[in-house]
């Protein structure tokens, strides 16, 4: 996650730069507006000669030009801050979604190749999310991470992709050799199917966390 941390820090540094430029511009804008108000007030309250009026108008034009320039500059920095904020929030939200999805796939321990890509805050977020999910399922006495569609047949045909070896199933001892094709009880096969699917999804989530 070092690359993402560096990019995140760069964006925050850029935001600080925009803020440092924005603050003095806002003060200058306020000063220009106050000077324009004072000039208009003095013209209304005191009678001045034509030469003084022309001079005052020229000064107001200069102030208005400076005011518009500072306003446009402040707008550029403000919009840049808003854009960076939205990008950072989208980035954080996307990673949070990935972490929440992991909570439905693994128990309470993340694979090392995934965990190393998370910050300490994200690890704590995952831990709390999994704890909340497990607590909710415990209260309902219902496992929400299994297939919610009722099976049509208690047995399914499977093809073994990895050499697992002999395993004791609920109704038999089976040799799950690579490329073997057999009929297994769905409840027995489900854990191995889930593990295989998790490997593929983990690769996808690992890629998502690299972005």
Which three-class secondary structure string do you get for 180-202? Answer: CEEEEEHHHHHHHHHHHHHHHHH
pTM reported for the whole predicted model: 0.64
SS3 content of the chain, % helix, strand, coil (to 5): 70, 10, 20
d(CA 94, CA 96): 5
- The answer to whether residue 92 scores a pLDDT higher than 50 is yes
Whether 77 shows a pLDDT value over 90: the answer reads yes
Report angle CA 172, 173, 179 to the nearest 5 degrees. Answer: 110
Residue 32: which residues within 8 A CB-CB, separation 6 or more?
63, 64, 66, 67, 70
Q: Which residues of 67-90 are buried (b: 16+ CB within 10 A; e: fewer)?
A: beebbebbeebeebbeeeeeeeee
As a whole number of angstroms, the distance between CA 54 and CA 132 comes to 73
Highest mean pLDDT among 1-5, 10-14, 182-186: 10-14
The full set of domain ranges for the chain reads: 1-105, 155-205
| Tokens coding 206 | 């690992």
Q: Is 54 or 87 the better-scoring residue by pLDDT?
A: 87
Give 14-29 pLDDT, tens digit per residue: 999 999 999 999 999 9
CA distance 15 to 4: 17
Query: Is residue 127 scored above 80 in pLDDT?
Result: yes
Query: CA-to-CA distance for 167 and 195, rounded, in angstroms?
Result: 15
Higher pLDDT pick, 187 / 118: 118
Task: Give the count of beta carbons closer than 10 Å to the beta carbon of residue 117.
Answer: 18
């Amino acid at each position: 996650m070092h690359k993402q941390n560096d990019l995140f820090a760069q964006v925050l540094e850029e935001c600080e730069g925009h803020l440092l430029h924005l603050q003095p511009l806002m003060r200058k804008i306020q000063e220009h507006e106050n000077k324009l108000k004072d000039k208009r007030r003095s013209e209304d309250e005191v009678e001045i000669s034509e030469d003084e009026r022309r001079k005052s108008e020229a000064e107001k034009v200069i102030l208005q030009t400076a005011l518009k320039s500072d306003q446009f500059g402040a707008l550029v920095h403000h919009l840049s801050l808003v854009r960076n904020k939205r990008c950072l929030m989208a980035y954080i939200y996307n990673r949070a979604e990935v972490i929440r999805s992991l909570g439905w796939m693994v128990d309470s321990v993340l694979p090392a190749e995934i965990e190393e890509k998370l910050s300490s805050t994200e690890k704590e977020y995952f831990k709390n999310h999994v704890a909340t999910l497990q607590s909710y399922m415990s209260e309902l006495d219902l496992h929400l991470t299994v297939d919610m569609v009722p099976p049509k047949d208690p047995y399914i045909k499977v093809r073994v992709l990895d050499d697992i070896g002999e395993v004791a199933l609920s109704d038999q001892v089976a040799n799950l050799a690579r490329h073997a094709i057999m009929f297994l009880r769905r409840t027995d096969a489900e854990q191995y199917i889930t593990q295989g699917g998790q490997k593929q999804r983990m690769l996808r989530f690992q890629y998502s966390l690299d972005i």
